[in-house]
Structure 1
């Protein structure tokens, strides 16, 4: 057998006519296809693949190759013809789950990104009951996550000239107008506002449905400028679908959408938004207790957007860097990142240039909230340090004050009320903590955010454990049991 891992099962010696048809139209020789497969396999880290002309001949004769060969062939032919050529279109079958429902190491190619976005959003719409789609996914972490994401910075290879559609294609040219594109973009902004005000549980499926519609448009022939705008729209919708999934507790689903959003951002040529996607992934890793991964992701975001991000975006990235350092337990680096976030934020908007809608959330309130949470996290990592809790208190108070005036960001208001309650617990002031937690409970009943609910439950549990003999804490525990809704099904 030529090359471990490149072989497969013999399909009854029946020639693979579908693969043969695509192969003939490609104009490649068997040796050229073998070399491309080997090169792509090395890029993926599959160094055990060693294909030659005799192996390609066997595939054409009907042998079914093992993974990752079917995925590699799909990627190569998709790039060659400028349209999606699925594994099934090649007469091949995958021995494992398709990339859309397993893993994050996906091909950085436009047609494949569109196909995976389409497949995953369709699966989510059809199958997403709490835990159903999620159980087929596994969270990636460590090198399995970081190394594929580093390819975001690798320049895309020079594309092949677009080829004619395969014979029999029924696609017609798109007639997408500029006003329709404007409407798609404004709809994404509206979804983002709903999420901030109402939580991720209320409109998640609507966002996923809109994403699926955009991927349908991307599968039609489009002018390059239109295609870039559609990829940008897809990236923003995928990130928002990921954020909403994160907010309602569907962590593997959220990570998948974030990864797909980063791929779409690269196709759109939007490095600042790509850095924002990586910051969302970093925040998720902090939430999941993996601050080292969070720091790697945020450094990747900073490096990739160092020459194009606005001061507001840079300030947001510094604030997330501080959160990661706090959770790792590096106070000096955390404090430096906090100062960088504050100094850079002071420059936001001074040049008069309009900023993208997706970074508008990072206001003075959000800056104070992030920095206060960094100090609060430092306090926990340092063994419930009262000195770090005292650093957090005035900054968190400012965040609560500002968010209290902001009807649009009710979830952030609730999260910062809870953060302030935890600061008072660290300072052994349970009565003050209860006052803030009760306010957070009132907001939590109005927003559909499992993240808010979980943090509030955890804070009240901590209060009950440490101050169970305080009457106000006992009363709050009873209120929580009676009023806080159970984990809602993701919708």
Structure 2
């Protein structure tokens, strides 16, 4: 069985279960598949999609690490005989410090936060390279990155992460090829962007260590290309990872490093994005004066930005996203003072949620869940329940581990109103969704 899992040979896994008396119906019920799917797999159909493999592992109670999907807590106990949870937390804090040191060294040209250590950076693939490359080869990388990023925006990182990593493996072999200086610089930019996407999709599927490794490499390539805006982009995205994991202090340091690069880039829109995220971090730290200061600066930079001259990566930041970020900062403050900040969060998120389409389903879920949570905090329970159900319905279509995490505050707020059957049902539905 361990050999079958290591090879991701799900057909053999199911055959082993059948030999030990587990029925097709039981397998289907455990893995969330239909009996016809189970039957096809038993006949030899391969399972390649990450999200399906992860669901099978979780449904059967198999540590994901046995299938090489992720290194999670269960795997740490069963496979590596790891130490206590406190040690794991200490290891994570060390990794955060190492990444910050690496980011500072790349951005500033010196390890200003301590000695450079980058054991978390993945080794480069040693594969044969073409003899010579031109701009067409680089454009292929850019086209693949754009197509895969569109999938990530629309359906979540779980739909495309493996494809991003596969494309990256191919693209990195071009580093060994002969090229003009102009082509090589464009190659560095393209590899930085693809590593950044690999980091983001890894984060979106709950793979923190691979995300950190890809962002570290993205930072190096962006610096080699002397692209300050792209450096700012990578630091902004890694900062968002730490915000998600409730580490606003670390996130703020990365945003501030990114702000240096953003200023050097001369792009007002890039500066606006970093300011907006700093505001969110300050909100999580319950510093309303700093939030207002950064929100004001975000608005000023946004007002003077020329989208047509902005780098490609930052053009997503429209007026709609501006309202969403201001809503996020006030949502963070509403945790500490709901009476004052929840109504502001509602007003801002309504403005952004009205404009989201099917091409931004994951972001739409985030915005709707935030809006619903603050409706409830502000005393409008029924509207919060209504919006929350919409968020949950869209969330079920998105392959993103972050969706479940971002719905958690709504589950808790709805759960505070146990006497209301609709609120109780919504809280329970979100709980079941998060456990799948």
The interval holding the TM-score normalised by the smaller chain is 0.7 to 0.9
Matched, 1:402 2:352: no
Question: Is 1:232 equivalent to 2:189 in the alignment?
Answer: yes
Quick one: structure 1 residues 480 and 285, their matched pair in 2 at CA, closer, same or farther if it must change by over 3 Å?
Answer: closer
Q: Distance in 1 between matches of 2:338 and 2:427?
A: 25
What is the CA distance between 1:128 and its match in structure 2?
A: 4.0
CA distance in 2, matches of 1:176, 1:270: 21
Normalization by structure 2: what TM-score? 0.73
Displacement of 1:430 after TM fit? 2.3
The structural deviation recorded for 1:372 is: 0.5
What's the CA shift for 1:230? 1.5
Q: What is the alpha-carbon distance in structure 2 between the residues aligned to residue 479 and residue 289 of structure 1?
A: 24
CA contact (8 A) 1:322 1:338 kept: yes
Does the 8 Å CA contact 2:385/2:423 hold for their aligned counterparts? Answer: yes
In structure 2, runs of 5+ residues without a counterpart are 1-65, 81-87, 111-126
Structure 1: gaps (5+ residues):
1-125, 157-169
Query: Is 1:336–2:293 an aligned residue pair?
Result: yes
Q: Distance in 1 between matches of 2:299 and 2:95?
A: 30
Q: Deviations along 1:48-85, whole A, 9 cap, x unmatched?
A: xxxxxxxxxxxxxxxxxxxxxxxxxxxxxxxxxxxxxx
Higher share in helix: 2
Residue in structure 1 matched with residue 107 of structure 2 by the alignment: 153
Matched, 1:371 2:326: yes
How does the TM-score come out when normalised to structure 1? 0.65
- Match of 2:311? 356
Q: CA deviation at 1:307?
A: 2.5
Matches within 5 A, 1:50-199: 128-131=68-71, 139=92, 140=94, 143-155=97-109, 174-199=131-156
Counting matched residue pairs gives: 344
Which segment drifts farther, 408-417 or 147-156?
147-156
Q: 1:438 to 1:188 in 2, by over 3 A?
A: same
- Residue among 456, 468, 476 paired with 2:426: 476
Of 385, 391, 398, the residue aligned with 2:338 is 385
Q: CA deviation at 1:366?
A: 1.3
Q: Secondary structure at the match of 1:176?
A: coil
8 Å CA contact 2:414–2:426 kept in 1: the answer is no
* Counterpart pick for 2:280 among 305, 323, 334: 323
Measured at CA, do residues 365 and 285 of structure 1 come closer, stay the same or move farther in structure 2, by a change above 3 Å? Answer: same
- One of 153, 160, 178 as aligned partner of 1:203: 160
User: Secondary structure of the equivalent of 1:201?
Assistant: helix
- Displacement of 1:174 in angstroms is 2.6
Q: How does 1:401-420 map to 2 (within 5 A)?
A: 401-403=354-356, 406-420=357-371
Distance 2:168 2:134 in 1: 18
Alignment of structure 1 residues 35-54 onto 2, 5 Å: none
Give a deviation string over 1:71-117, Cα, whole Å, max 9, x none.
Answer: xxxxxxxxxxxxxxxxxxxxxxxxxxxxxxxxxxxxxxxxxxxxxxx
